[in-house]
Amino acid sequence: MPQPRRLVEGNEAVAEGAIAAGARFFAGYPITPSTEIAEVLSRRLPQVGGHFVQMEDEIASIGAVIGASLAGAKALTATSGPGFSLMQESIGYASMAQVPCVIVDVMRGGPSTGLPTEPSQGDVMQARWGTHGEHSIIALVPSSVAECFSLTVEAFNLSEAYRTPVILLSDATIGHMREAVALPTRDELRVAERGEPDVEPDDYDDVMSTVDNIMPRPALGSRYAVHVTGLVYDRSRGGVPSTGTPSVAEGLGLYLREKIYHHRDAIARVEELEMEDAEVAIFAYGSVARSARAAMKWARRQGVKVGLVRPITLWPFPMAAVDHMAEQVRTIIVPEMNLKQMSWEVQAAVGGRAKVVDHGRIDGKLIRPEEIQNLIRREFYYHHFEETA
């Protein structure tokens, strides 16, 4: 039976989603606008036998999360821009060492201390490329309170399935917004469990994992004497460091990339609205997608064919959906609370097949529907609009 509808804050929904996903460990450091996630989990985790710890900084927080995950717990941390920057090295470690974990970044204006209480989407490229070196990553972007819950569950499922860090890119607006939702109960959800590899300790070698069959790593303190390292390692020899053999380094790097890229069409989730006959598409994510939806509805009322493509998965980039959109529409409007970060990515994917119009804001204010409506009017300059924008 679903829980009754009630007013839930976005950050609270993330915390409840984590509990529902089976997360039993949180380590974090207070930072606006993510702090409520820590506050809620400090109360909720011990109730379900889990563990909450407030660490000395964000570097320690992601470190503790990785340690807890290696010991067998589903684990997460939550932060905002400055903390997300501090975590980058260990996000790379989790990627290299294939440690499932979830990092929630409630985006605020930056760089540096920036605009602590105002929303931004300035971290979308940092989520993709923030840590050094070639790596792949999964990042999800909620645009409602209900999605703060469901995408947190999804983030854990993906992190377990692909043994990778997954980033949930919320923002100050989504995190602090309250909506009436009925949060699903555990039995209404698909929750991935970690399990043990299907081989005896002496036979365990991670090389038996393939991009189509990623075995779980046994927990520390199990019968398997695992070795975990951030160095390049040889999957065929118990994961021991191997830095002198180029083919081992290349093989590992390609495996780490392909285990996610090979599945990107399965991972990538996109919501498409009114796209069947659209001549112009809006590509918008997170809180901006809410304004984009309002602008799209306004346009439809005015009799012009505008659709919305809302990536729920930002990374890996939803290439198939963008490709399809590029074949169909003449213009793609990309409003975002940064200066062209995803717009460049869309432009590269579109490759000249459609015009890409960017619209950025970095003043800490949400993009209003009217701003997008004005961009739509320009694309339909020959049309008589009854309502002003």
Q: Which is nearer to other proteins, 74 or 293 (CB)?
A: 74
Binding mask 279-308 for other proteins (x = CB under 8 A): ------------------------------
Segment near other proteins (CB under 8 A); pick from 3-11, 63-71, 122-130, 306-314: 63-71
- Could you say which of 40, 60, 145, 167 contacts other proteins (CB under 8 A)? 60
Segment near other proteins (CB under 8 A); pick from 10-18, 68-76, 280-288, 359-367: 68-76
Contact 103/79 with Cβ under 8 angstroms? Answer: yes
Q: Which residues contact 216 (CB under 8 A, 6 or more apart)?
A: 160, 163, 194, 195, 196, 197
Q: Residue 360 forms beta bridges with which residues?
A: 336
Q: In Å, how far are 158, 251, 284 from 106, measured between CA atoms?
A: 19, 35, 17
- Could you say which of 11, 15, 22, 25 contacts other proteins (CB under 8 A)? 25
d(CA 259, CA 255): 6
- 244 binds other proteins per the rule CB under 8 A: no
Contact 298/284 with Cβ under 8 angstroms? Answer: no
Is the bond into 33 cis (omega within 30 degrees of 0)? Answer: yes
Q: Which is nearer to other proteins, 231 or 348 (CB)?
A: 231
- Could you say which of 33, 63, 81, 286 contacts other proteins (CB under 8 A)? 63
How many residues sit close enough to other proteins to count as binding (CB under 8 A)? 47
Binding mask 202-221 for other proteins (x = CB under 8 A): -----------------xxx
CB of 243 to other proteins, least distance (A): 10
- Could you say which of 240, 254, 320, 348 contacts other proteins (CB under 8 A)? 240
- Could you say which of 9, 11, 14, 24 contacts other proteins (CB under 8 A)? 24
d(CA 188, CA 204): 34
Structure-token match 């990536």, residue found: 311
Q: Which residues contact 315 (CB under 8 A, 6 or more apart)?
A: 127, 128, 136, 137, 138, 139, 167
343 φ, ψ (degrees, to nearest 5): -60, -40
- 133 binds other proteins per the rule CB under 8 A: no
Q: Which is nearer to other proteins, 51 or 269 (CB)?
A: 51
Segment near other proteins (CB under 8 A); pick from 9-17, 21-29, 273-281, 295-303: 21-29
CB of 240 to other proteins, least distance (A): 6
Binding mask 71-110 for other proteins (x = CB under 8 A): xxx-x-------------xx--x-----------------
Per CB under 8 A, contacts with other proteins among 350-369 are: none
DSSP annotation of 164: S
**What three-state secondary structure class fits 102?**
strand
**What three-state secondary structure class fits 71?**
coil
108 φ, ψ (degrees, to nearest 5): -130, 170
d(CA 205, CA 194): 17
Q: Which is nearer to other proteins, 89 or 271 (CB)?
A: 89
Structure-token match 């996000």, residue found: 91
Q: Residue 271 forms beta bridges with which residues?
A: 310
Cα Rg of the chain, angstroms: 21
CB of 68 to other proteins, least distance (A): 4
Q: In Å, how far are 14, 20, 42, 62, 383 from 35, measured between CA atoms?
A: 12, 19, 11, 15, 47
Q: Which is nearer to other proteins, 49 or 352 (CB)?
A: 49
Per CB under 8 A, contacts with other proteins among 218-237 are: 219-231
Total residue length of the chain: 389
- Could you say which of 31, 68, 309, 332 contacts other proteins (CB under 8 A)? 68
d(CA 333, CA 350): 12
Q: List interacting residues with other proteins (CB under 8 A).
A: 24-25, 27, 43, 46-47, 49, 51, 53, 55-57, 59-73, 75, 89-90, 93, 219-231, 238, 240-241
